[in-house]
A and B are shown apart, each in its own frame.
Chain A
Amino acid sequence: MRIRSQLLIVALSTLVLPWAGCQYARELEVALRTSQEQALLASAGTIANALSAAPQRVFRDGANLAKFDPGRGDLYVFPLDRQPLLDGYREDWGIAQDPVALPGKSAPIARVQAGITERYLYLYLEIDNPHFKPEPSDVHPAHDRFDRIDLILQRPDGALQSYFLATNAPGLIAAQSLVTGEDGADHAIPDPRIQAYWLLTKSGYHVEARLPLSLIGDQLWIVARDGAAEPLPEELRTVEQLPGGRLFFAPRGLDDLLATFVREGTHATVIDANGLKFGSAGHFDPGADEPEGAGLGETWLRRLLAFDNSSLPLRSTAPDRIDGPPASDALAGHPDAVWLRTGHRNLPVLSAAAPINVEGATRGAVVLEQAGDQLVGIRDRALMRLFNLTLLATVVAVAFVFGFATWIGVRIDRLRAAAESAVGKDGRIRLGMPESARGDEIGALARSFESLLARLNEHAQYLRTLGGKLSHELRTPLTIVRSSLDNLESEGLTGEQRVFATRAREGSLRLSSILTALGAAARVEESIKQAERVGFDLRELLVSAVGAYQSGFPKIRFELSAPPDECFLRGAPDLIVQLLDKLVENAVDFCPERGLIAVTLTRDSGNYQLSVSNDGPPIPPEMLGRLFESLFEQRASRDDKPHFGLGLYIVRLIAEFHSGEVAAANRADGGGAVFTVSLPII
């Protein structure tokens, strides 16, 4: 893997920044949630305490201590926002709950809903009685059979008062009360304070009634009666105590009182011990903070990060009561805060409840609700910024690292290329490395390379001159040996002595030829220094020389191919012949008997290509680049002549003197080697 890719992967580790940001955001949200819980709980506690101090403004006397029991006709009274029209329809009440059935075994089935405004109590009744029996005129109401609705209410002063609603024709009517007249009989007296609207429907009739609050105490007993049924039991008309029908609502002004405590974005509800809603103030919208058309990134982010709200308990939406935690906890005496979710989109809602204690008893609770997505908004904005910043940082870091890695890679590549080409094909060493002026590790590496190459060069230089030096230094002692032998032989030796002297002479002759071979490169260098350039015909030289080689090596076939015309070259012909000698010597060494040595001269634009190709074994590839080095002996020779790997080095020296180049290659057919000298035409 390239350094660039490696560093890129390293750079990608900066992606841990956004991840850490996310983690941080989550923790932040947890912390925010906790602090929100505590703040809301504190608010709830404060409000509850304030309300505990003035219980008469929260609870009407006595009645609300009782347990709410719809089976006994207890009625929850919905607070109404505005005065409804008396028209027999309850759509304008704005209550999202159906009327509840009235208790009682007597037919018909009646369902009731109660509402309260500042001054009136409203009743809405649905009676299933398809056979409407209108009220006859001038008939004793208590005994006559017609459809009617009895209302027995306890007045604020505690006394009971009976009314009934009946009509002979649908429409706006007034309630009638039974008054015992002087004659001892009951008379139905219309009471215009209680108004109602009688509406006939297919299945029965709807009655919407309005009662002034000044008439209303704690209880209201409602009985719907079919004209075909039994008359109202006597005892009910004279009861001192109603069996049920308690009304559950808050004193007037609770909402306003509550509103003074409630901050914006918070919804406060007061419930009584039954969990019934008594008053509320403030407004919150769980979805309000959801930004319109949030960006794709943000949505995605939200999905990635959002707490899973679906496991939260569902927030109660009953219009009349609040059940479950935290209200139930508060009613049990323990303040509590709980995260809920709305049924719509699972948005989080924080709900905190604190008990309202009056004289040591928990009579109700304050429930505060706040949208949780305020936090989500804060978190998302912070997170988005963080995310964007870290992402930008990552992109910048990655880009920077990539660029840096590319730069490093380019430098190393440059160094590698220089190192690879430092030792040329001809064995020459190029000193000087790129990057060596830099102060960093690559620069140091380049300098190490440089010093390594310098030492290699020194070594090569030493090897180049070694032959000459050895040859020179050994020549004087050898001369002593040989001249001593000369003298010895002149002294007149006996037969045996002559044999040894002859052997010694042979040895010294061999030594001498070894020294001559060793010094060959040095002599060529010397003659190159002395060489003069003259113009000559390279073709003629080749014809003559190849002819000589053929007579010198009769067992090998020589072939010369050259351009037909004169090939003028300016140089040293003696040296060129020497070059050719060395190439042919080398070729002959490897050419089998009756093999072919082809000498080829070609001319291209600017260069003569002189090549000597021989049959024989190919050159091992790893040697190709080193053949032209001094003292590089590639193989055991087959003759007695000493070889020091100088022949091809001499070829190189002479080619260089002619500004030319040398190259060795194996023939394409694998059946031999070819050495090519390219000489610029001057």
Chain B
Amino acid sequence: MRSCAPAIGYDRAMKKLIAIVEDEPALRDNYAAALARHGYQIKTYGNRKLAMQAFHVRLPDLAIIDISLEDEAEGGFDLCRDLRALSAELPIVFLTARDSELDAVSGLRLGADDFLTKDVSLPHLAARVAALFRRIDALRQPADAAQILRRGALAIDAQKLQVSWNGTPIVLSLTEFWIVHALARNPGHVKNRQQLMDAANVVLDDDTITSHIKRVRRKFVAIDAAFDAIQTVYGMGYRWVE
């Protein structure tokens, strides 16, 4: 926490405040240490109650929330809902020990910006956090056409980490965004699961990639029932077809 030590009054205006809600103290402190090293101000909380009390006093700039909190198996979801009620733009990242929760989370549509398993390495976590902050900043600036990648009906704004289909914005988590981006950048090329993982800065098993793809498709289909741009190449991976 050496990086947290300098004069508080000055830093508070400059440094982004990240709240980590995690009931496992060792893990919590490791995340805090790593992110602090990247120049963020960190507040950690062991349970939902403490976290909410603090959030009512001051909202963080970004929240990293574990799904199960102490004796509340899905306390993270409740916290996310409450936090979203306080702020619509605040980036929220879920951390979960369970792969299967990704699917449960997908159904909840709680407005989280990303879902990560705890397998994620700290540099990857830092990269995501940076990306999310970058997106917040980018959203405040006018659209830069040069940054926009177009593939037929698909438009990808790599700066703002946003995707639209036929002009309709699609809300994707950060991982989902990076997967779509990796596929659409080279249409027709088969991306295997490892390539997709690398692109998304995650370490996931095959099943999780499959469920991510499934969720992405569902989001597109919700807008355009005829959507069929992501194809499965059995035994190899996926490709974007125009």
Which positions in A face B, CB cutoff 8 Å?
Answer: 472, 475-476, 479-480, 482-484, 486-487, 490, 512, 516, 519-520, 522-524, 526-527, 530, 541, 544-549, 552, 573-574, 577-578, 580-581
**In this assembly, does B10 line the interface, its C-beta being within 8 Å of a C-beta of chain A?**
no
**In this assembly, does B99 line the interface, its C-beta being within 8 Å of a C-beta of chain A?**
yes
New A-B contacts (13) at CB < 8 Å, excluding given A487-B34, A527-B210: A480-B26, A480-B30, A483-B27, A484-B30, A487-B33, A490-B34, A512-B119, A526-B99, A545-B235, A546-B235, A573-B234, A574-B232, A577-B234
Q: How far is the CA of A265 from the CA of B145 in the complex (A)?
A: 145
Residues in chain B near residue A545, CB distance under 8 A: 234-235
**In this assembly, does B150 line the interface, its C-beta being within 8 Å of a C-beta of chain A?**
no
A selection of 16 A-B contacts at a CB cut-off of 8 Å is: A472-B98, A475-B97, A480-B24, A480-B26, A483-B27, A483-B122, A484-B26, A484-B30, A486-B34, A487-B33, A522-B100, A530-B211, A545-B235, A573-B232, A573-B234, A574-B210
Q: How far is the CA of A573 from the CA of B31 in the complex (A)?
A: 39
Residues in chain A near residue B78, CB distance under 8 A: none
Given contacts A475-B97, A484-B30, A490-B37, contact A541 B205 (CB under 8 A): no
Q: Which 5 A-B pairs have the closest CB atoms?
A: A548-B235, A545-B235, A486-B122, A483-B30, A479-B118
Q: How far is the CA of A541 from the CA of B235 in the complex (A)?
A: 8
CB-nearest residue of chain B to A517: B205
CB-contact partner of A527 in B97, B211, B232, under 8 A:
B211
Q: Could you tell me if A486 and B97 are in contact, using CB atoms closer than 8 angstroms?
A: no
CB-nearest residue of chain B to A479: B118
Minimum CB–CB distance from A256 to chain B (whole Å) comes to 126
Q: Could you tell me if B211 and A581 are in contact, using CB atoms closer than 8 angstroms?
A: no
Q: Could you tell me if A486 and B121 are in contact, using CB atoms closer than 8 angstroms?
A: yes
Minimum CB–CB distance from A472 to chain B (whole Å) comes to 6
**In this assembly, does B103 line the interface, its C-beta being within 8 Å of a C-beta of chain A?**
yes
CB-contact partner of A523 in B30, B99, B121, B122, under 8 A:
B99
Q: Could you tell me if B31 and A483 are in contact, using CB atoms closer than 8 angstroms?
A: yes
**In this assembly, does B123 line the interface, its C-beta being within 8 Å of a C-beta of chain A?**
yes
CB-contact partner of B34 in A483, A530, A548, under 8 A:
A483
Given contacts A547-B235, A581-B235, contact A476 B97 (CB under 8 A): yes
Q: How far is the CA of A516 from the CA of B207 in the complex (A)?
A: 11
Residues in chain A near residue B99, CB distance under 8 A: 519, 523, 526
Which positions in B face A, CB cutoff 8 Å?
Answer: 24, 26-27, 30-31, 33-34, 37, 97-100, 103, 118-119, 121-123, 205-207, 210-211, 214, 232-236
Residues in chain B near residue A527, CB distance under 8 A: 103, 207, 210-211
Q: Could you tell me if B121 and A482 are in contact, using CB atoms closer than 8 angstroms?
A: yes
Residues in chain A near residue B100, CB distance under 8 A: 522-523, 526
Q: How far is the CA of A520 from the CA of B208 in the complex (A)?
A: 11
Residues in chain A near residue B123, CB distance under 8 A: 486
Minimum CB–CB distance from A658 to chain B (whole Å) comes to 16
Q: Could you tell me if A487 and B30 are in contact, using CB atoms closer than 8 angstroms?
A: yes
Q: How far is the CA of A533 from the CA of B199 in the complex (A)?
A: 29
Residues in chain B near residue A490, CB distance under 8 A: 34, 37, 122
Q: How far is the CA of A210 from the CA of B117 in the complex (A)?
A: 151
Q: How far is the CA of A443 from the CA of B168 in the complex (A)?
A: 69
Q: How far is the CA of A475 from the CA of B95 in the complex (A)?
A: 13
Minimum CB–CB distance from B9 to chain A (whole Å) comes to 27
Residues in chain B near residue A581, CB distance under 8 A: 235
Q: Could you tell me if A577 and B97 are in contact, using CB atoms closer than 8 angstroms?
A: no
Q: How far is the CA of A552 from the CA of B207 in the complex (A)?
A: 19
CB-nearest residue of chain A to B121: A486
Minimum CB–CB distance from B232 to chain A (whole Å) comes to 7
Q: How far is the CA of A68 from the CA of B103 in the complex (A)?
A: 137
CB-nearest residue of chain A to B101: A526
| Interface of chain A, main secondary structure | helix
Minimum CB–CB distance from A540 to chain B (whole Å) comes to 8
Q: Could you tell me if A524 and B234 are in contact, using CB atoms closer than 8 angstroms?
A: no
CB-nearest residue of chain A to B190: A548
Residues in chain A near residue B97, CB distance under 8 A: 472, 475-476, 479
Residues in chain B near residue A520, CB distance under 8 A: 205
Residues in chain A near residue B119, CB distance under 8 A: 475, 479, 482, 512
Residues in chain A near residue B37, CB distance under 8 A: 487, 490
Q: Could you tell me if A544 and B211 are in contact, using CB atoms closer than 8 angstroms?
A: no
CB-nearest residue of chain A to B218: A532
Q: Could you tell me if A549 and B34 are in contact, using CB atoms closer than 8 angstroms?
A: no
Given contacts A475-B118, A530-B211, contact A548 B234 (CB under 8 A): yes
Residues in chain B near residue A541, CB distance under 8 A: 234
Which interface residue of B37, B121, B205, B207 has the most chain A CB atoms within 10 A? B207
Given contacts A476-B27, A483-B122, A486-B121, contact A549 B235 (CB under 8 A): yes
Residues in chain B near residue A574, CB distance under 8 A: 210, 214, 232
CB-nearest residue of chain A to B122: A486
CB-nearest residue of chain B to A532: B214
Residues in chain B near residue A483, CB distance under 8 A: 27, 30-31, 34, 121-122
Minimum CB–CB distance from A651 to chain B (whole Å) comes to 15
Given contacts A476-B24, A480-B27, A526-B103, contact A516 B33 (CB under 8 A): no
Minimum CB–CB distance from B24 to chain A (whole Å) comes to 6
Q: How far is the CA of A546 from the CA of B232 in the complex (A)?
A: 14
Q: Could you tell me if A524 and B103 are in contact, using CB atoms closer than 8 angstroms?
A: no
Minimum CB–CB distance from A144 to chain B (whole Å) comes to 159
Minimum CB–CB distance from A168 to chain B (whole Å) comes to 154
Minimum CB–CB distance from A76 to chain B (whole Å) comes to 130
Given contacts A487-B34, A490-B34, A490-B122, contact A524 B207 (CB under 8 A): yes
CB-nearest residue of chain A to B95: A479
Q: How far is the CA of A482 from the CA of B31 in the complex (A)?
A: 11
Minimum CB–CB distance from A498 to chain B (whole Å) comes to 16
CB-nearest residue of chain A to B236: A548
Q: How far is the CA of A524 from the CA of B98 in the complex (A)?
A: 13
CB-nearest residue of chain B to A530: B103
Q: How far is the CA of A341 from the CA of B118 in the complex (A)?
A: 116
Minimum CB–CB distance from A492 to chain B (whole Å) comes to 11
Q: Could you tell me if B207 and A486 are in contact, using CB atoms closer than 8 angstroms?
A: no
Residues in chain B near residue A573, CB distance under 8 A: 232, 234
Which interface residue of A475, A486, A520 has the most chain B CB atoms within 10 A? A486
Q: How far is the CA of A547 from the CA of B30 in the complex (A)?
A: 44
Q: How far is the CA of A487 from the CA of B123 in the complex (A)?
A: 9
Q: How far is the CA of A544 from the CA of B235 in the complex (A)?
A: 7
CB-contact partner of B122 in A472, A487, A577, under 8 A:
A487
Residues in chain A near residue B31, CB distance under 8 A: 483
Q: How far is the CA of A541 from the CA of B103 in the complex (A)?
A: 25
CB-contact partner of B236 in A516, A519, A523, A544, under 8 A:
A544
CB-nearest residue of chain B to A584: B235
Which interface residue of B30, B97, B205 has the most chain A CB atoms within 10 A? B30
CB-nearest residue of chain B to A549: B235
Q: How far is the CA of A202 from the CA of B26 in the complex (A)?
A: 156
Residues in chain A near residue B122, CB distance under 8 A: 483, 486-487, 490
CB-nearest residue of chain B to A482: B121
Q: How far is the CA of A548 from the CA of B236 in the complex (A)?
A: 6
CB-nearest residue of chain B to A475: B97
Minimum CB–CB distance from A641 to chain B (whole Å) comes to 13
CB-nearest residue of chain B to A531: B214
Residues in chain B near residue A524, CB distance under 8 A: 207
CB-nearest residue of chain A to B233: A544
Which interface residue of A479, A482, A573, A580 has the most chain B CB atoms within 10 A? A479
Q: How far is the CA of A512 from the CA of B99 in the complex (A)?
A: 13
Q: How far is the CA of A516 from the CA of B34 in the complex (A)?
A: 25
Q: How far is the CA of A472 from the CA of B73 in the complex (A)?
A: 14
CB-nearest residue of chain A to B32: A487
Minimum CB–CB distance from A556 to chain B (whole Å) comes to 14
CB-contact partner of B205 in A486, A523, A544, A552, under 8 A:
A523
CB-nearest residue of chain A to B27: A480
CB-nearest residue of chain B to A486: B122
Minimum CB–CB distance from B83 to chain A (whole Å) comes to 23
Q: How far is the CA of A309 from the CA of B13 in the complex (A)?
A: 138
Minimum CB–CB distance from A369 to chain B (whole Å) comes to 112
Q: How far is the CA of A349 from the CA of B46 in the complex (A)?
A: 120
